[in-house]
Amino acid sequence: MTDYVKAWQCIGCGSIEAPQTCIGVCEHRKVQFVYAHEHEAVVRELASANEELARLRAFVRRLAHTQPREDAWKTSYRALQDDAARLAREPVEMPE
């Protein structure tokens, strides 16, 4: 995780100030910020999406590399269908 900088935000105009000594050469530029709790929520969602993507990639690899015997293609196909249905039903868990 990134280190956080604690600062003050004006509830009126929204200006941000961090306590530090000014040496008189300040230059104001527009910057963009996000709230830490919003950033952390997005990081959790990304981790969850990456986990789901890993599960789906594993399934696709299994599908791509499965070569059933001549007399067992139907059984293999149904097993893959069952795996796909299970993946579709699994709830996506959000990490804390």
Question: How does pLDDT run across 8-31, given as a tens digit for each residue?
Answer: 888 777 778 777 766 767 776 777
Token couple for 94: 């959000």
**Encoded amino acid at 76, one letter:** S
Distances (CA, A) of 43 to 9, 55, 67, 91: 23, 19, 38, 18
Supply the angle between the helices 73-89 and 36-65 in degrees, to the nearest 10: 170
pLDDT tens readout for residues 30-75:
778 888 899 999 999 999 999 999 999 999 998 888 888 888 889 8
Predicted TM-score (pTM) of this structure: 0.65
The rounded distance, in Å, linking the Cα atoms of 76 and 74 is 5
The rounded distance, in Å, linking the Cα atoms of 25 and 4 is 24
